[in-house]
A and B are shown apart, each in its own frame.
Chain A
Amino acid sequence: MKIEIINKSFSYTAKTFCVFLISLFLIFAFQLQAQTSREYSIKAVFLYNFTQFIDWPATAFSNAESPFIIGILGDDPFHASLDEAVAGEKVKDHPITVQRYQDVKDITTCHILFINRKEEGKMKEILSALSGKNVLTVSDMADFAAIGGIVRFASEKNKIRLQINLPASKNAELNISSKLLQVADIVR
């Protein structure tokens, strides 16, 4: 009802223009949203797929049935898609759970940690905190692998490429399958 009252005060042309702009904005925003969510849903699947190409040492689990934890540090760009991707899945006998952290200190047990690119400034702190832990660090921030992260999602021609820092993975005592290495770029 309020809109109708406003409509009476605007001219028809202005009104149409207004609707057009709003519509345009909505469509753009929606598309952006859709693109972002499609990219991250793929990345979510990738995160899950890592569990199948990478072996964690048995010591990373407190017992045979303790959960396999995928953590998100910082803002969650996946929304529900990661939860959907891993829902009901297991790594060996470990049920997969998703944990969200705002700070690196919150992390107690984690097997894969996706680090939001906004956390770039805190990288040194985060990496040193995770040093010696069997955690696969993943992020889509630039130079992630070069600065000590293990796996970087690199967008390239609308596709996602993987960059892997092998020494870092060694440090984390993670055994990455050669099949995974084949599809990834190795960074030193």
Chain B
Amino acid sequence: MNDNRSAIQRKLMGLVLVTSGVVLLLTCVGFFSYEFFTFRQSSKERLSTLGEVISANSTGALAFDSHENATEILEALKAEEHIVAAGLYDKKGNLFARYPGNFPKYNLPLHPAGDGYNYKNGYLEGFQAVIQENNRLGTLYLRSDMNAIYTRFERYGLISLLVVAVSIFVAFLLSRQLQKKISEPILALAKTASNISNQKDYTVRAKKFDDDELGVLTDAFNQMLIQIEKQNAEILSFNHALELKVNERTLELEQANIELKLRSEFEETVIDSSVDIIAVFDREFNYVSLNKSGKTAFGITDKDVIGKNILEVFPQLKTSVMYHYLQKVFETGEMILDQRYDSHVSDLIMQNFFIPLLDKDNMVYRVLVIGHDITEISKTHEQLKQLNSELEKSNLNLEQFAFIASHDLQEPLRKIQTFSQLLERDLDNKESIKRHLSKIISSAGRMTDLIKAVLNYSRLSNEKGDYEEVDLKQVLDSVTSDLELKIIEKEAVINARDLPVIYGNPLQLTQLFLNLISNSIKFSEKKPEISISSVIIDKREATATDGFNYNGTCVELIFKDNGIGFEQHYAEKIFTVFQRLHGKQDYPGTGIGLALCKKIVDNHDGQISVKSAPGEGTEFKILLPANLSNKH
């Protein structure tokens, strides 16, 4: 079947063909079964009739004992091809004649049985009485094969096949034409419907063929189309009105949007231009916004933070005060000002404002956090505080200095005054004049020394000087050369080992060495022996032994002598200005030397300490940072 035919056409034709095929088949089956049974019956009857004829003919032979005649009569059965065997029995039931002549006797019944024909063992066989004038002369036996039925059925089957084939073909031809009656209106309707659904053209109408149900369907379809078209028009006009309204609204909205955008941009610009960090969080602690300053400070972009939880962005804030306050504001709804907050995220110091944003039910729905960077202010503040404390210390020093200076400086002045008065009284006595004048000159010289020393000290307090690499060995050499006369005079011995190069002020360090060595020479009653040693120790050791707090390697210098020594409880006192342990007469000096030493060590961020006992000698221990470059 070539198939440019539609599905419905194929179905209709299939319907017709299947129906006619089944009907034909059933008819054939009925016909065959009818034939089968009637033919069996008629075969029986025909055989019976044949038997009648044969038996009628054979009466004479039986009556007059003529075997030839009987055989001859039975031979006539040749004409009936389906007769396989026949036998004629006489009155006593003995076989009289048989057909075919050579048919084996044992294949025929020995004696006749009851009259009548039956199908048995694939044959139709039976007995029939041979009667003449109501007188039974004998019995005829006939046996017919079934080939007749088979032959007949073969022929019938062939005919049926032919009839069915022709019928189906005719049915096919007929159905091809007749199905159009039904399929054409349906196809037309379907085509119209698909055209409409494809092209959305509702003005088309389906063609009506007949006034049958399909016609009604077409009418209903067209009615529907009219309805749709009408509704379409309504919808279109409604749409148009709606569109106009939408356009109008859109225009308004756009206007509003532009305004809003401008305003929002303005606000955004304002917020972004703020130097403060401005962030907004929602109830879930997610970032709603973060201004430019914040992004710059944290080194992040909108993509990293917006919509994300604060702890997701900065997990380190979990334990921070900032996070705590954020929670608190959401809980209490009250503004919080955190005056000082050391950021966990950057190294900034902030002043944080936590401002709750309330919705119309007065519930906190967001929190605005403004972080004001007070790092610089704070640093300046710190510096100011330090400066202040230094100033206070300096003031204290100055007060002390003024008190001591007034006392110590007054002493030679008073001497000058006293001896001047004595000189005035004894102007005649040359001897006393000379004595008094020498006293006055000595006091004046002492005063000069004092003033010089004070100036030296104050200068040291005020200036830091230049720092460079200083070879302490060279420093020691320069000092021993300065003190050469005194060393020779007192026969002093100086032993020094392994003096390092450190970073410091060469002049101050020279002063330090000079003061310490000259002190050792001065405060001795026997030949002075001075040893200077140096060890490099690391920070941990220094901290452990002396509580010295410095990041880095240190140099430990030890100045040890065999001088007069002092009670250990003076160990602190001796570094104070004008503090003296011995009379000026016993050991001359200004009382500023060791104070100066302490000042110098302090200037180098070092530490000085002393260990002594009367008559046991004295040991100064000085800790100095090996490298000061990172500090200055």
Contacts and interface: CB of A to CB of B under 8 A. Distances in A.
B64 interface: yes
Interface in A20-55: 42, 46, 49, 51-53
Given A52-B132, A52-B135, A53-B132, A182 B65 contact: no
Contact of A52 (B57, B63, B65): B63
Contact of B64 (A51, A91, A184): A184
Nearest to B58: A179
Contacts of A184: 64
Given A52-B132, A52-B135, A160 B60 contact: no
Nearest to A177: B60
Q: DSSP majority for the A interface?
A: helix
Interface string A177-188: 101111110000
A124 B348 CA distance: 182
Interface string B61-84: 101111001000000000000000
A52 B137 CA distance: 11
Contacts of B132: 49, 52-53, 179
Contacts of B64: 46, 49, 160, 162, 180, 183-184
Nearest to A159: B65
Contacts of B135: 52
A53 B420 CA distance: 224
B133 interface: yes
B157 to A, nearest CB: 43
Nearest to B57: A179
A95 B57 CA distance: 26
Contacts, number: 43
Nearest to B73: A182
B59 interface: yes
A64 to B, nearest CB: 16
Nearest to B70: A183
Given A52-B133, A52-B135, A53-B132, A182 B69 contact: yes
A160 B59 contact: no
Interface residues of A, number: 17
Nearest to B64: A183
Contacts of B63: 46, 49, 52-53, 180, 183
Contacts of B57: 179, 182
Contacts of B65: 42, 46, 159-160
B58 to A, nearest CB: 8
Contacts of B60: 53, 177, 179-183
Contacts of A49: 63-64, 132
B90 to A, nearest CB: 11
Interface string B48-62: 000000001101110
Contact of A183 (B56, B66, B133): B66
A183 B68 CA distance: 8
Tell which of B57, B64, B132 has the most Cβ of chain A within 10 Å: B64
A160 B132 CA distance: 20
Contacts of A181: 60
B142 to A, nearest CB: 19
A174 B56 CA distance: 21
A49 B61 CA distance: 11
Looking at A49, A162, A177, the one whose CB has the most chain B CB atoms below 10 A away is A49
A168 to B, nearest CB: 18
A180 B58 CA distance: 10
Nearest to A181: B60
Interface string B120-139: 00000000000011010000
Contacts of A159: 65
B72 to A, nearest CB: 8
Interface string A77-93: 00000000000000100
Contacts of A42: 65
Contacts of B56: 179
Interface in B59-115: 59-61, 63-66, 69
Contacts of A160: 64-65
A82 B63 CA distance: 15
A162 B63 CA distance: 12
Nearest to B69: A183
A42 B132 CA distance: 18
Contacts of A53: 59-60, 63, 132
Interface string A144-188: 000000000000000110100000000000000101111110000
B605 to A, nearest CB: 171
Interface string B126-156: 0000001101000000000000000000000
A182 B56 CA distance: 12
A52 B136 CA distance: 11
A118 B59 CA distance: 32
Nearest to A160: B65
A184 B65 CA distance: 11
B122 to A, nearest CB: 34
Contacts of A177: 60
Contacts of B61: 182-183
The listed residue with most B CB atoms (<10 A of its CB), out of A51, A53, A91, A183, is A183
A68 B432 CA distance: 240
A59 B312 CA distance: 149
A61 to B, nearest CB: 16
B233 to A, nearest CB: 107
Contacts of A51: 133
Nearest to A42: B65
Nearest to B67: A159
Interface of A: 42, 46, 49, 51-53, 91, 159-160, 162, 177, 179-184
Interface of B: 56-57, 59-61, 63-66, 69, 132-133, 135
19 contacts: A42-B65, A46-B64, A49-B132, A51-B133, A52-B63, A53-B59, A53-B63, A160-B65, A162-B64, A179-B57, A179-B59, A179-B60, A180-B63, A180-B64, A182-B57, A182-B60, A182-B61, A183-B63, A183-B69
Closest A-B pairs by Cβ, 8 of them? A179-B60, A183-B66, A49-B63, A52-B133, A183-B69, A183-B60, A183-B64, A52-B132
Given A159-B65, A179-B57, 17 more contacts: A46-B63, A46-B64, A46-B65, A49-B63, A49-B64, A49-B132, A52-B63, A53-B59, A53-B63, A91-B133, A160-B64, A177-B60, A179-B60, A180-B60, A182-B69, A183-B66, A183-B69
